[in-house]
Amino acid sequence: MATIIDGKAVAAKVRQEAAQQVKTLKENGIKTGLAVIIVGDDPASRVYVNNKKKDCEEIGIYSEEYALPEDTSQEELMALVESLNQRSDISGILCQLPLPRHLNEKMVLDAISPLKDVDAFHPSNVGKIMIGDYDFLPCTPAGVMEMLKEYEIEIEGKTCVVIGRSNIVGKPMSMLLLHKNGTVTTCHSRTKDLPGVTRQADILVAAIGKAKFVTADMVKDGAVVVDVGMNRLDGKLCGDVDYEAVAPKASFITPVPGGVGPMTRAILMKNTVKAAKLQNAVT
């Protein structure tokens, strides 16, 4: 049976380190602040924003929430982002996605200062990740890497397969594994013989958003299985991996909930602290 990778425990460690750094910055007269923008009343977005607020309180990060109505215009949203860019007490800016359809997400994300882009979605931060010389990493892939490190799972020389090619998870996940000298294959909806590819994986990362998509016959014996999915099936939270079927074959596996989710939030806190340090030239 697989060793369960406890995301809650690793996240607690990351938050503790962030809290200590916030305290040190405060002692040196530097305020760490996060502004969260939410447009409309998407229930899932509201849950995420509330959780981020709790995390900030726990760590000592000053937080501001901007809950804007569904019919907010592009101009109003851009003006808010620009005003937050100018404020020295706001270290990080996060715009909760998805935005209502009439708003241009790309324009909004591109308007956030790269030094305050704690989600690492700005093109300049994406480019830095590509060349391996980055300030911020996207929260979910960075959280996965932190868990692999904590459990001393070797990446170098391993066959790594990532299912999913989104800009938020799949692509940066593949890049981070490559930076650690993994041999990486990125799979997607056009991949031929997907089970044949995934069965080669020493490290398999599922990030597609389809409940219990990865079945036992897709997993090699002894593989490390990381489940990034967050789905609801019959009212219950579950991942992209059929956990009960896959766990007996894997050497390590992340549960849902309690795996990657807590890490994503913890890395956001870590990125906000890093933003405060960068903006104040603190090493």
Write down how long the chain is: 283
Output the pLDDT for position 177.
98
Is 276 part of any domain? no
Q: Do residue 74 and residue 169 come from a single domain?
A: no
Q: Is 8 helix (H, G, I), strand (E, B) or coil?
A: helix
**How many CA within 13 A on the CB side of residue 196?**
3
Is 13 an active-site residue?
A: no
Do 148 and 233 belong together in one domain?
yes
- Overall average pLDDT of the 14-26 stretch: 98
* Selected catalytic residue, list 55, 96, 240, 242: 96
Is residue 150 located within the same domain as residue 220? yes
Confidence grade of residue 9 (pLDDT, cut at 50, 70, 90)? very high
62 within a domain of the structure (yes/no): yes
Secondary structure letter of residue 119 according to DSSP = T
Quick check: is 20 in a domain? no
Contacts of 196 (CB under 8 A, 6+ apart): none
Listing DSSP states for 208-267 in one string gives S--TT-B-GGGS-TT-EEEE---EEETTEEE-SB-HHHHTTT-SEE--SSSSHHHHHHHH
pLDDT digits (tens, 9 = 90+) for 160-215: 999 999 999 999 999 999 999 999 999 999 999 999 999 999 999 999 999 999 99
Range(s) of the domain holding residue 54: 30-116
Question: What is the pLDDT at residue 42?
Answer: 87
What separation in angstroms does the CA of 130 have from each of 143, 229, 246, 274? 18, 24, 32, 19
What per-residue confidence (pLDDT) applies to 110? Answer: 97
Question: Are both 183 and 255 inside the same structural domain?
Answer: yes
**Is the pLDDT at 11 greater than 90, yes or no?**
yes
256 with 214, same domain: the answer is: yes
Whether 10 maps to a domain, the answer reads no
Amino acid at 28: N
Pair (84, 186) in one structural domain: no
Q: Domain check: are 157 and 71 in the same one?
A: no
**Within-domain flag for 18:** no
Residues 6+ apart with CB under 8 A from 267: 14, 137, 139, 140, 142, 143, 146
Q: Is 96 a catalytic residue?
A: yes
Sign of CA dihedral 232, 167, 3, 54: negative
Quick check: is 74 catalytic?
no
Per residue in 70-103, pLDDT tens? Answer: 999 999 999 999 999 999 999 999 999 999 999 9
In a shared domain, residues 50 and 163: no
> Could you tell me if 164 and 64 lie in one domain?
no
Domain with residue 46: its CATH number is 3.40.50.10860
Cα 41 from Cα 96, distance rounded (Å): 11
**Residue 196 sits in a domain of what CATH number?**
3.40.50.720
Q: Domains in the chain: how many in total?
A: 2
- Average of per-residue pLDDT across 148-165: 98
Q: Which of 119, 202, 240, 242 is catalytic?
A: 119
